[in-house]
Amino acid sequence: MAFFRPRVSREAEVRHHADQEVGKSFPELLEKARAAEAELRRVQAAAAPVEELRAAGLAFDRALTEALRAAEANQRATFGIKAYDDRLRRRKGKATPKGAEWSAEVDRLRTLREQNRLTGIARVPRPVTATAR
């Protein structure tokens, strides 16, 4: 009798190690996002001009996006190396305590980013140009 034990693909190993490396920077990126949010709230409280509000909102969006990418990388790495090739392994990984914790963190960051995109980035009116007839 031969026992069949499927190996993970080389691509899955490479992606797993890359996600581990990206995930290591999550605490620093989350701290940058918190600092960007504090700056946005400070600018909003100071009733700054619209251009400054927009710049602070976009900086917060960029910081949140970087933190979200690192959290997603940590989530994938937590699910395990076999989860890169098998959707059932991904579901099982999400059911573990660490997997559920990272999934909740990813959902929280996505919600925060979407909320910022809807309400936190100030709209700057387009400049009106005079057209000659």
Helix, coil or strand: residue 108: helix
pLDDT 10s digits, 81-120: 999 998 999 999 999 999 999 999 999 999 999 999 999 8
Q: Can you give the pLDDT at residue 84? A: 92
Give the integer Cα–Cα distance in Å for 70 and 32.
12
pLDDT 10s digits, 41-81: 999 999 889 999 999 999 999 999 999 999 999 999 999 99
Helix, coil or strand: residue 58: helix
- Write down the pTM of the prediction: 0.85
